[in-house]
Amino acid sequence: MKLFILDKHGKPKPEPNVLKWCAWFETHDRQVDVDDITSKVYVSTVFLGIDHNFSHEGLPKLWETLIFGGPMDGKGERYSSLKAAQAGHKRHVLIAKGEYDN
């Protein structure tokens, strides 16, 4: 399992010490963005802190967007960069609103 923290510039860096990673994880805001679509549907994007690229090929997947509630509940995506996560968040907001066209 590969653990990551964000440096003071928001860039991910590996953290091999699990205790240091836990301390960082407990005390830092990992929320990238959250949008309420309705009172029962929202879209959230966060820094995961654990590499979710389980194929072990390519870049680590360190950010995730998920839709909570509504017909698209559970739809999400993982990303290797903050820029991709921010773009993916905007796309998932449109998906949750039913306004996204491929």
Residue extents of the structural domains in the chain = 30-97
Q: How much is the pLDDT for 81? A: 97
Q: How much is the pLDDT for 100? A: 83
Name 35's bridge partners. 43
Q: How much is the pLDDT for 11? A: 95
pTM: 0.93
The pLDDT tens digits for 14-69 are 999 999 999 999 999 999 999 999 999 999 999 999 999 998 789 999 999 999 99
Q: How much is the pLDDT for 56? A: 77
Provide the b/e sequence for 43-80 (b: ≥16 CB within 10 Å): bbbbbbbebeeeeeeeebbbbbbbbbbbebeeebbbbb
